[in-house]
């Protein structure tokens, strides 16, 4: 399994049971992080679907069709809007950046007025719909991330619709750079079941923390599932 060989510095998960189970499985099979403390955070919860909560996807699509809206952006009665999900994403990510920057400054004893560059690798493992992505770059991209002098290597475990909003926030608000081979269909799809995405986040501290520079190494990968079926 790909994640088995990653040495994480921080682990965060949604506090919903399916995400906590995924996190436990990742750490159980890890070579380096079996005893890593896990922080559960309600900001990583899946989007709330109101009257459609727990019902088949076909029901949500039928509701959206009746309302004349695409199902991915449709908000069922009592559900959470995309803007509300994005607000949770933004709040958590800004907390994450602040946490890493503070830890880096403490470790290096950098004064607040000193310029400091910090890079973090963020891997997102999400649970949602069946997978339709594949590719060979997991190992090479992992080596690329590992060669950059990373200060933090963070595992975030959340859910499919939530992660789709997270990736949209990275791209539209923070101008995340993307792999040249990424297609529009891959970019707009919901994160597949246990799909993995990996980002390099560069933080710069001057008088305050500057907007992060983000680069996507890969998106919604599932090679680890193929490897498991082949073993």
Note the pLDDT tens digit of each residue in 153-196: 999 999 999 999 999 999 999 999 999 988 877 887 777 778 89
Q: Delineate the domains of the chain, giving CATH numbers in brackets.
A: 10-47+81-103+147-228 (3.40.50.1240)
> With the C-alpha atoms ordered 18, 194, 201, 89, is the resulting torsion angle positive or negative?
negative
Backbone angles phi, psi at 136, to 5 degrees: -105, 5
- Say what the pLDDT of residue 130 is: 27
pLDDT in tens, 109-161: 644 454 455 666 666 543 222 223 333 333 334 444 444 456 899 999 999 99
Return the SS3 of 177.
Answer: strand
pLDDT value of residue 205: 79
SS (H, E, C) 143-169: HHHHCCCCCEEEEEEEEHHHHHHHHHH
pLDDT of residue 120: 65
49 strand-pairing partners: 79
Separation CA 193–CA 157 (nearest Å): 12
Secondary structure class of 55 (helix, strand, coil): coil
Residue with tokens 């470790």: 107
């Amino acid at each position: 399994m790909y994640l088995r060989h990653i040495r994480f510095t921080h682990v965060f998960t949604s506090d919903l049971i399916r995400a906590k189970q995924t996190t436990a499985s990742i750490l159980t099979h890890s070579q380096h992080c079996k005893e890593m403390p896990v922080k559960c955070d309600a900001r990583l919860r899946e989007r709330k679907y109101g009257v459609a909560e727990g019902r088949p996807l076909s029901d949500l699509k039928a509701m959206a069709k009746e309302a004349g809206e695409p199902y991915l952006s449709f908000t069922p009665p009592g559900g959470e809007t995309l803007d509300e999900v994005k607000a949770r994403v933004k709040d958590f990510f800004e907390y994450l950046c602040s946490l890493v920057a503070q830890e880096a400054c403490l470790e290096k004893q950098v004064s607040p007025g000193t310029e400091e560059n910090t890079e973090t690798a963020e891997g997102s493992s999400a649970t949602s719909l069946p997978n339709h992505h594949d590719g060979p770059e997991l190992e090479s991209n992992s080596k690329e991330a590992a060669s950059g002098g990373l200060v933090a290597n963070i595992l975030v475990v959340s859910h499919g619709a939530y992660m789709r909003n997270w990736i949209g926030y990275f791209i539209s608000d923070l101008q995340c750079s993307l792999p040249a081979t990424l297609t529009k269909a891959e970019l707009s799809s919901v994160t597949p079941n246990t799909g993995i995405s990996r980002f390099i986040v560069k933080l710069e501290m001057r008088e305050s923390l500057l907007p992060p520079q983000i680069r996507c190494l890969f998106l919604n990968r599932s090679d680890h599932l193929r490897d498991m079926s082949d073993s």
